[in-house]
Amino acid sequence: MEKDASAPDPSRQRNGFSGVLYGEFADALNDELRYSVSLTESALTIQRISSSPDRTKVAFNLSDCVGCRSHTGPDTSAYFTAYFYPMKRRWMSAGLARQRVEQCFRVAPAQDPLVNLREAERWSDTFLLLPNLLHLPGKGVACTTLRRPCRTMILVNPHSGRGQALQLFTGHIQAMLTEADVPYTLVITEHQNHARELVRNADLSQWDALVIMSGDGLLFEVINGLMEREDWQQAIKTPLGILPGGSGNALAASLHHYSQ
């Protein structure tokens, strides 16, 4: 649906709260549970509406959020769902790992389903407009901010990581791309230098970024392919992403270490 360019920026609609988008919504599965929800440039804060004096607030950092989607329900209501992957302690383990948290709210302040959907869209659109959601701070590591939707070519070496790279993609990454509403083209490499040849001859205007899911070898193939192009000076500016799918993943580990 095309939006009116003269319409106000949803990130600036604060319902009277300076710097905050605020609303009161029902739980997606239980109408008797209601929450006050506020969204700032750094966090989503949720507090249950109750007569109890102990009303604990829960805050989710937007740097852990991959996306937010809005949709209609079976009646006049509408919903918006935010997807977070915060670092949490694993069960029976001392280590930390990112774990999926889904926060879904029911919007039903009016009987008009279109009004409810617009309110849900206002929240989901604002999530995507907030700069902290799109920016990864780095210390000594160059990071590129991409606006959404980001068209991505994902290259996977099915033999990496003892043959588990493709399984990791379908089991973890694919769902996250859907949640983030990122359109992508999946390329499964078939032989050595396949990625190098593909990137060397590809029309890079079709993609905003190239993502490599493998060990270090496939990344080197992609970089070499970019450098062998006639337009290499422009091609090498294409943002590159690394999803560790190899056995050692030394380069991905080093980049992660220096970006903390």
Whether 26 and 125 share a structural domain: yes
Residue 61: give the domain boundaries: 10-129
Amino acid 7: pLDDT: 40
pLDDT of residue 98: 85
First to last CA, the chain: 39
Residues 206-221: tens digit of each pLDDT: 999 999 998 778 889 9
User: Which positions are catalytic?
Assistant: 216
Evaluate if residue 44 carries a pLDDT over 50.
Answer: yes
Does residue 145 share a domain with residue 123? Answer: no
| Count of domains for the chain | 2
The alpha helices in the chain, defined as continuous H runs, are 113-129, 131-134, 160-163, 165-168, 174-179, 194-201, 216-227, 232-235, 250-258
pLDDT in tens, 238-248: 999 888 876 66
Last residue of a domain, one of 70, 104, 129: 129
Q: Whole-model pTM?
A: 0.76
122 domain-assigned = yes
Shared domain for 111 and 31, answered yes or no, is yes
Segment 168-197, tens digit of pLDDT: 899 889 999 999 888 999 999 999 999 999
Q: What is the pLDDT of residues 12-40, one digit of tens each?
A: 444 433 457 999 999 999 988 999 999 99
At 25, the amino acid letter reads: F
| pLDDT at position 231 over 60 | yes
**Do 25 and 110 have their domain in common?**
yes
CATH of the domain at 219: 3.40.50.10330
Average pLDDT over residues 74-96: 85
Q: Are residues 79 and 168 in the same domain?
A: no
